[in-house]
């Protein structure tokens, strides 16, 4: 179908019978093949197929049969006819809106055709794929709608030519469009294979129809995946992983086309002019210093940056992109202008910068950008990308960008659904080989914060299989992705680059929002909108435009990393109130009929009152403020971790009630909580040499750290198993205890009686001061001094840990290597009330 065809249909819906089949119509074999050919024929293909079928009937059927068939045929035709007419009516409306640029007054506020087309593709994808909560074939109706309407939206590309020498199709369209069409059909085909699966879904009815308080924090009635008791069959697992890999490839292909197109799209002049003219100003001092430290490689720069969340990654990318833009402009100006460069605005801020140096900085910034993108493979669009889309005028770019973006998002959503099943399988069968694809943090009832992080884990793991990323990189990405950045940790943080309104949000301090507990109780200018966002195919721009029907929108921000919850911020409460009234739990016409769940949201004050029963989990030991406790992240590499685990797995385990242990050097006797110093098992095994040789690193943090160690206990904790509160027996071990976490993470809590003097401040509930620290895999903890002698340590028996508002599911197992030095004489520490050596002495003394 072409715009000529569209035009004639709009002019007269009745003339469709004369319309001939378009060039792609010859793929359609029969009337029944509606889903595969419907995109061809908003109008005429139906009638031509009917005619040819009629002729065949005429030749072969008797009169009676013919009469019967004719009646049936006519009724089918009528049905199809009326559905075709309604499709045409619908398309008329859409086409009109598209031409009006969505300014239904017909005024001048409409978007450019490029943006309108881009938005139309985004909206169509949102309404067709937005509710993709299950791995199952897409309903025929949705499939044919997608195909039909996409063909209309893609049709301008049929008429684009490059006027070099002689008219020919635009190369970018010619190259990318067939690829996108292929990826599109492959994704739908993958969904089509999802029949008779070993898994199934049940609706989470708990979230529906219950009181608000019960609903609070539930999964908004989303389907919950289930697998049989004992897990999926081997065949099923294989099939699932195979399909997930295909979808992952599709994701990568769509994403790479999208990146390529965005790179080609020029930055609108008005945005370029509004950006800071100095690269250094865009970067900020720290980032500028890192780029200038030429001794560090791009990975070195990335490590120094120590990104902890998607928010900081995106912010860094925005800064780097703006700086690169400023520098490139500067070079162009310097090369083309005859005037002194010092007079142009682009050079005023960096007067001393030489051209060579700028070029070097650009190279380093681009390398760093690449590194960050590799580590965070599905970041939302950057500020400059959003601006290119918003202000771009090139229709081919707009179409290709939108099409590749929505396909990437769809692939991404499908992968997340694969992740749900993997996770469910692992939770019923911890030995499932899917464990290596398990997605900690995703889909924990009530809190879906980490879904984006968990996607990273899946991607990284898959990259691993393909040998494209080292295990080290994968694990680093996954665990850093799991954590929020320190500064953002206490609240949901908006990312300015995703904000579509107003340049004032670029590089500025980000507002922090909290969802209000009571739903309609407290008015606010900010709305927390669930089931809405880039992950469901809605750009922030589209959302802003939909919400602007109720008042001037100040900004739209992601509410969290899920990509499907946003904060819509108005200037006044009454606009927010009207939007909430109109749209909460109602289909939003401007967002493809999507049902939104809305409540008020407040900008969170910097200090929150915490629940006295929960303990703030620190990421760094220094935050806990317990003397003598130190933590070093990434103490061993991922490769070393793998080797250490393989070494202990090749040796016999000793079963305790809930966990397994191995002892080296000396045996630890749990009944007497002590070691038998007379019975040495041997030296520490050679496989721990890579750990022992790095122990002196702690000397940098704590001069008194004991580094001669002769006893090792290896503990293996299944998910959910913890360790009871204890102080390691003073008389058994010297003052420094090191514990290396491998494979899974956990939190370790510390407590000291409130009455004890060995307590630093007032973070306590009940009779104890409590502190907690997150121990990621490969981190090494040192307990020494007060922290070792006076504070009890323990691991709560949880399957998930709440770390800075992020839910982190414990892995299927955590293995710890605890190194100690066996004490040969009595303990003479400064903490006699906790010291078994000194208490014994006192007891003896009192006899």
Smaller CB separation from Fe ion, 642 or 728? 728
Residue nearest to ligand AKG (CB): 816
Smaller CB separation from ligand AKG, 92 or 663? 663
* Residue 806: contacted member of ligand AKG, Fe ion, none (CB under 5 to 8 Å, by partner type): none
The CB-of-479 to Fe ion minimum distance in angstroms stands at 23
Cα separation, 49 vs 55, whole angstroms? 10
**Cα-based torsion angle of the residue sequence 574, 579, 580, 583 in order, rounded to the nearest 10 degrees:** 160
The CB-of-694 to ligand AKG minimum distance in angstroms stands at 17
The tokens for 403 are 């099409």
* Residue 569: contacted member of Fe ion, ligand AKG, none (CB under 5 to 8 Å, by partner type): none
Smaller CB separation from ligand AKG, 769 or 815? 815
Give start and end residues of each alpha helix (H) in 548-688. 573-583, 621-624, 638-649
Binding-site string for Fe ion from residue 205 to residue 244, where x marks contact by CB under 5 A and - marks none: ----------------------------------------
Cα separation, 240 vs 224, whole angstroms? 18
* Residue 739: contacted member of Fe ion, ligand AKG, none (CB under 5 to 8 Å, by partner type): ligand AKG
Binding-site string for Fe ion from residue 688 to residue 727, where x marks contact by CB under 5 A and - marks none: ----------------------------------------
The CB-of-834 to Fe ion minimum distance in angstroms stands at 13
The tokens for 601 are 């949201």
Cα separation, 629 vs 710, whole angstroms? 20
Smaller CB separation from Fe ion, 460 or 749? 749
* Residue 40: contacted member of Fe ion, ligand AKG, none (CB under 5 to 8 Å, by partner type): none
Smaller CB separation from Fe ion, 486 or 728? 728
The CB-of-777 to ligand AKG minimum distance in angstroms stands at 12
Smaller CB separation from ligand AKG, 139 or 720? 720
The tokens for 69 are 């068939």
Smaller CB separation from ligand AKG, 484 or 713? 713
Smaller CB separation from Fe ion, 70 or 728? 728
Q: Does 756 bind Fe ion (CB under 5 A)?
A: no
Q: How many residues bind Fe ion (CB under 5 A)?
A: 1
CB atoms within 10 A of CB 55: 9
* Residue 715: contacted member of ligand AKG, Fe ion, none (CB under 5 to 8 Å, by partner type): ligand AKG
* Residue 278: contacted member of Fe ion, ligand AKG, none (CB under 5 to 8 Å, by partner type): none
Paired with 55 in beta bridges are none
Using CB under 6 A, list all residues that contact ligand AKG: 713, 715, 723, 728, 739, 793, 816, 818
The CB-of-785 to Fe ion minimum distance in angstroms stands at 15
What angle do helix axes 171-192 and 234-264 make, rounded to 10 degrees?
A: 160
- Is the Cβ–Cβ distance between 254 and 183 less than 8 Å? yes
The CB-of-837 to ligand AKG minimum distance in angstroms stands at 18
* Residue 816: contacted member of Fe ion, ligand AKG, none (CB under 5 to 8 Å, by partner type): ligand AKG
* Residue 577: contacted member of Fe ion, ligand AKG, none (CB under 5 to 8 Å, by partner type): none
Pairing outcome for strands 617-618 and 768-775: parallel
The CB-of-130 to ligand AKG minimum distance in angstroms stands at 44
The CB-of-621 to ligand AKG minimum distance in angstroms stands at 14
Q: Residues 116, 185, 16, CA angle at the centre, nearest 5°?
A: 60
The CB-of-749 to Fe ion minimum distance in angstroms stands at 12
Q: What is the DSSP letter of 754?
A: T
Considering only the stretches 16-24, 48-56, 309-317, 728-736, report the one whose residues sit in contact with Fe ion under the rule CB under 5 A. 728-736
Residue nearest to Fe ion (CB): 728
The CB-of-713 to ligand AKG minimum distance in angstroms stands at 5
CB atoms within 10 A of CB 238: 12
Smaller CB separation from Fe ion, 302 or 781? 781
Q: What is the DSSP letter of 297?
A: -
The CB-of-671 to Fe ion minimum distance in angstroms stands at 16
Quick one: the chain helix, strand, coil %, rounded to 5?
50, 15, 35
The CB-of-665 to ligand AKG minimum distance in angstroms stands at 14
Smaller CB separation from ligand AKG, 153 or 705? 705
Nearest CA among 361, 368, 359, 336 for reference residue 280: 361
Smaller CB separation from ligand AKG, 95 or 750? 750
* Residue 216: contacted member of ligand AKG, Fe ion, none (CB under 5 to 8 Å, by partner type): none
Nearest CA among 516, 522, 520, 526 for reference residue 494: 526
Cα separation, 675 vs 789, whole angstroms? 17
Smaller CB separation from Fe ion, 63 or 671? 671
Nearby residues of 725 by Cβ (< 8 Å), 6 or more positions away: 749, 751, 792, 793, 794
The CB-of-737 to ligand AKG minimum distance in angstroms stands at 7
The CB-of-739 to ligand AKG minimum distance in angstroms stands at 4
Question: What's the length of the chain?
Answer: 847
* Residue 131: contacted member of ligand AKG, Fe ion, none (CB under 5 to 8 Å, by partner type): none
Nearby residues of 379 by Cβ (< 8 Å), 6 or more positions away: 310, 313, 314, 317, 373
* Residue 713: contacted member of Fe ion, ligand AKG, none (CB under 5 to 8 Å, by partner type): ligand AKG
Place of tokens 């301090």: 509
Smaller CB separation from Fe ion, 728 or 756? 728
Q: Does 728 bind Fe ion (CB under 5 A)?
A: yes
Determine whether 812 is exposed, middle or buried from the number of CB atoms within 10 Å of its CB (0-12, 13-18, 19+).
buried
Buried/exposed 442-468: b ≥16 CB within 10 Å, e otherwise: bbbeebbbbbbbbbbbbbbbbbbeeee
Q: Does 673 bind Fe ion (CB under 5 A)?
A: no
Concatenating the DSSP letter of every residue in 471-526 gives HHHHHHHHHHHHS--GGGTTSEE--GGG--S-GGGTTSPPPEEEE-SSSSSS--SE
Cα separation, 784 vs 736, whole angstroms? 5
Nearby residues of 678 by Cβ (< 8 Å), 6 or more positions away: none
Smaller CB separation from ligand AKG, 499 or 723? 723
Contacts of residues 91-100 at CB distance under 8 Å and 24 or more positions apart, as own/partner, are 91/6, 91/9, 91/10, 91/42, 91/149, 91/152, 92/9, 92/10, 94/120, 94/149, 94/152, 95/6, 95/10, 95/152
By CB under 5 A, name the binding residues for Fe ion.
Answer: 728
């Amino acid at each position: 179908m072409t715009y000529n065809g569209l035009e004639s249909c709009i002019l007269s819906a009745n003339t469709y019978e004369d319309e001939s089949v378009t060039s792609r119509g010859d793929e359609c074999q029969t009337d029944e093949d509606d889903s595969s050919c419907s995109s061809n024929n908003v109008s005429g293909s139906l009638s031509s197929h009917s005619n040819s079928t009629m002729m065949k009937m005429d030749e072969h059927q008797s009169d009676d049969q013919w009469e019967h068939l004719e009646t049936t045929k006519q009724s089918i035709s009528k049905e199809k006819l009326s559905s075709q007419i309604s499709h045409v009516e619908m398309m008329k409306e859409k086409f009109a809106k598209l031409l009006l640029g969505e300014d239904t007054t017909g005024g001048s506020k409409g978007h450019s055709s490029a943006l309108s087309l881009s938005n139309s593709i985004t909206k169509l994808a949102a309404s067709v794929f937005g509710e993709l909560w299950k791995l199952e074939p897409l309903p025929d109706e949705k499939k044919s709608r997608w195909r039909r309407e996409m063909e209309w939206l893609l049709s301008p590309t049929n008429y684009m030519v490059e006027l070099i020498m002689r008219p020919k199709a635009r190369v970018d369209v010619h190259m990318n469009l067939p690829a996108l069409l292929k990826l599109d059909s492959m994704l739908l085909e993958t969904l089509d294979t999802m029949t008779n699966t070993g898994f199934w879904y049940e609706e989470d009815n708990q979230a529906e129809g219950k009181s608000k308080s019960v609903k609070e924090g539930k999964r908004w009635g989303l389907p919950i995946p289930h697998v049989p008791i004992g897990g999926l069959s081997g065949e099923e697992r294989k099939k699932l992983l195979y399909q997930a890999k295909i979808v992952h490839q599709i994701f990568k292909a769509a994403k790479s086309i999208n990146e390529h197109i965005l790179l080609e799209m020029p930055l609108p002049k008005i945005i370029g002019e509004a950006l800071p003219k100095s690269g250094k100003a865009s970067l900020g001092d720290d980032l500028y210093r890192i780029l200038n430290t030429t001794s560090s490689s791009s990975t070195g720069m990335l490590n120094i940056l120590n990104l902890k969340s998607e928010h900081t990654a995106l912010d860094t990318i925005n800064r780097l992109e703006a700086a690169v833009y400023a520098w490139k402009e500067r070079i162009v100006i310097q090369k083309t202008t005859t005037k002194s460069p010092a007079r142009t605005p682009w050079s005023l801020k960096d007067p001393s910068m030489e051209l060579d140096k700028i070029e070097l900085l650009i190279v380093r910034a681009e390398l760093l950008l690449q590194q960050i993108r590799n580590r965070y493979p599905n970041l939302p669009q950057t500020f400059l990308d959003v601006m290119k889309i918003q202000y771009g005028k090139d229709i081919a770019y707009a179409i290709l960008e939108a099409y590749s973006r929505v396909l990437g998002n769809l692939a991404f959503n499908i992968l997340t659904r694969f992740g749900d099943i993997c996770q469910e399988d692992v939770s019923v069968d911890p030995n499932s080989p899917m464990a290596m694809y398990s997605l900690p943090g995703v889909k924990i009832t009530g809190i879906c914060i980490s879904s984006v992080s968990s996607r990273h884990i899946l991607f990284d793991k898959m990259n691993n299989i393909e040998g494209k990323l080292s295990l080290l990189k994968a694990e680093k990405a996954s665990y850093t992705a799991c954590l929020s950045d320190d500064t953002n940790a206490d609240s949901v943080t908006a990312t300015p680059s995703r904000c579509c309104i107003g340049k004032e949000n670029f590089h500025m301090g980000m507002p922090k929002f909290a969802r209000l507990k009571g739903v309609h109780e407290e008015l606010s200018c900010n709305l927390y909108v669930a089931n809405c966002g880039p992950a469901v195919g809605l750009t922030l721009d589209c959302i802003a435009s939909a919400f602007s029907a109720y008042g001037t929108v100040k900004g739209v921000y992601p509410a969290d990393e899920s990509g499907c919850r946003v904060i819509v911020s108005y200037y006044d409460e009454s606009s927010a109130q009207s939007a909430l009234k109109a749209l909460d739990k109602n289909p939003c016409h401007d967002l493809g009929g999507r049902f939104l769940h809305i409540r008020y949201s407040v900008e969170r004050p910097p200090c929150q009152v915490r629940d006295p029963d929960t303990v703030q989990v620190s990421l760094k030991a220094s935050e806990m403020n317990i003397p003598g406790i130190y933590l070093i992240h990434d103490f061993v590499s991922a490769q070393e971790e793998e080797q250490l685990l393989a070494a202990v797995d090749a040796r016999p385990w000793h079963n305790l009630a809930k966990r397994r242990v191995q002892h080296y050097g000396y045996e630890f006797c749990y009944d007497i909580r002590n070691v038998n110093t007379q019975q040495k098992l041997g030296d520490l095994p050679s496989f721990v040499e890579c750990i022992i040789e790095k122990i002196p690193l702690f000397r940098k943090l704590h001069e008194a750290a004991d580094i001669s160690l002769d006893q090792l206990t290896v503990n293996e904790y299944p998910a959910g198993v913890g360790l009871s509160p204890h102080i390691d027996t003073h008389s058994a071990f010297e003052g420094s205890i090191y514990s290396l976490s491998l494979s899974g993470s956990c939190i370790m809590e510390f407590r000291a009686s409130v009455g004890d003097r060995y307590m630093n401040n007032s973070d306590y509930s009940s009779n104890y001061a409590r502190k907690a620290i997150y121990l990621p895999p490969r981190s090494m903890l040192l307990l020494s001094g007060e922290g070792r002698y006076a504070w009890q340590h323990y691991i709560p028996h949880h399957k998930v840990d709440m770390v800075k508002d992020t839910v982190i599911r414990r892995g299927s197992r955590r293995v710890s290597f605890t190194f100690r030095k066996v004490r040969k004489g009595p303990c003479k520490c400064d903490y006699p009330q906790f010291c078994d050596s000194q208490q014994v002495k006192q007891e003896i003394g009192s006899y």
